[in-house]
Amino acid sequence: MNRRTFLSTALAVGSSGTLVAAPKEKVKIVSSLPRTGSAKGQTDGIVNAIKLAIADFEKVLPFEVTYLDRDDATPRTGTWATEKEEGIAEEAVEDKDVMAVIGPYNSGAARISAPILNRAGLVQVTPAATMPGLTKSGPASDADEPDKYRPGKKITFCRVCPQDGSQGPLSADFAVEELKIKSVYVIDDKQLYGLGIATAFKSRCEELKVKVLGHESVAPTQRDFQPLVKKIKAAAPDLVYFGGTTISGGAAIAKTMHAEEVNCPFLAPDACYALDFVNGVGVETLDAMKCFVTVGGIDPARLKGAGADFVKRYKEKYKTDPEPYAVYGYEAAAVVLEAFRAVGKKDREAVRKAVVSTKDFEKGVLGKWSFDADGDTTLQPLTVARIEKGKFRAVKVMGTK
């Protein structure tokens, strides 16, 4: 018996001579999410799901996992802040017990943290940041994307949610196939997420020979949308598409459309798939409109097998239905925790390699999927929901074969 084996055995034997479990080595997972502000409802779900995943995996892990729930938002703005996101990433890098980061929620925040974590070789899995340029080059990306997020020349940024490169076009497909539109008016909020998804939606509409009657960019701080909505009413589109969030104009534009009697459907992306959007527009107003919101993935109520079991257990534990991002929160944690189990040692590089090389993953709740060579999930379905009686009712799943 070598000295290391002897010492390990000795440490596992109590004073009475009976065997006792050796203490597990400690590792940490950090999440960086906006825990204050308009996205708190979604991030509550993500955090709850991460905790549930850790509880599910802890018996098979060689480590004791500590989870650090960090807030990258400020109370003053209610949204993520560069200094907060940067600080969380740097803290994670410096703490050698941290083996993975889950987050962020926002694509703009990911642009800040991704290169910091990449230099350190610390793997990052986002449940929500959907900007295509974070992982792939393309028409909607900057010339130096995604290379500028990979200064260490390795893949460290992965996402379990579909990116906007699929959400925008699939939203356009839905509008043409299900709503039978021939014309559209597009609005974006000038932000990375909103502009990117609106551009992708518009491009697909043009491919489908839908007439784009106008494309307006609004400031995320704008509050009066009456002049814009009157302009839209005069154009008489078959649909209004908004690329942005609840607080950057989504709720206010929808509400103003109803007030100005613009009766065409309103379609918005996943950033508006939240209770704050419903409250911002108003339940009665939404019931009087045709308002649709998309979200990457499959509506939790439609999940089968392990997914359905997750929904049941989540409701039992947290006394509420999980939102779609809770599902992605669980999946992000599950792929990290499975890497911990497979690697079996406290080694950032080994964990990174295990995560980014994930193939045919089935230990989560979304069924079988893989990360592609860029860190994107191979699952790219899109759920379209109509808001009725204050609830998101799934009406169509796009992008499935």
Q: Are 257 and 289 in contact (CB under 8 A)?
A: yes
pLDDT of 9 reads 41
Strands 98-102 and 157-159, how do they pair?
unpaired
- 23-162+304-356 matches 165-296+382-398 in fold: yes
As separate numbers, helices (DSSP H) first and strands (DSSP E) second, the chain gives 13, 12
Domain boundaries, the chain: 23-162+304-356, 165-296+382-398
For 71-113, give the DSSP string. E-B-TTTSSB-HHHHHHHHHHHHH-TTEEEEE--SSHHHHHHH
Pick left, alpha or beta for residue 208 (phi over 0 → left; psi -120 to 50 → alpha; otherwise beta): alpha
Answer yes or no: CATH 3.40.50.2300 is held by domain 23-162+304-356: yes
Of 324, 379, 265, 301, which Cα lies nearest the Cα of 127? 324
pLDDT of 18 reads 55
What b-and-e string marks burial along 159-189, b requiring 16 or more CB atoms within 10 Å of the CB? bbbbbbbbbbbbbbbbbbeebebebbbbbbb
Per-residue model confidence as pLDDT tens digits over 32-46: 999 998 788 889 999
Q: Which residues of the chain register pLDDT less than 70?
A: 1-22, 140, 401
Class of domain 165-296+382-398: alpha beta
- pTM over 0.75, yes/no: yes
Q: Are 352 and 158 in contact (CB under 8 A)?
A: no
124 Cβ contact partners less than 8 Å away, ≥ 6 residues apart: 100, 101, 102, 103, 113, 114, 117, 156, 157, 158
Q: Are 213 and 220 in contact (CB under 8 A)?
A: no
CA distance 241 to 270: 12
pLDDT of 100 reads 99
pLDDT of 20 reads 57
Per-residue model confidence as pLDDT tens digits over 235-256: 999 999 999 999 899 999 999 9
pLDDT of 6 reads 39
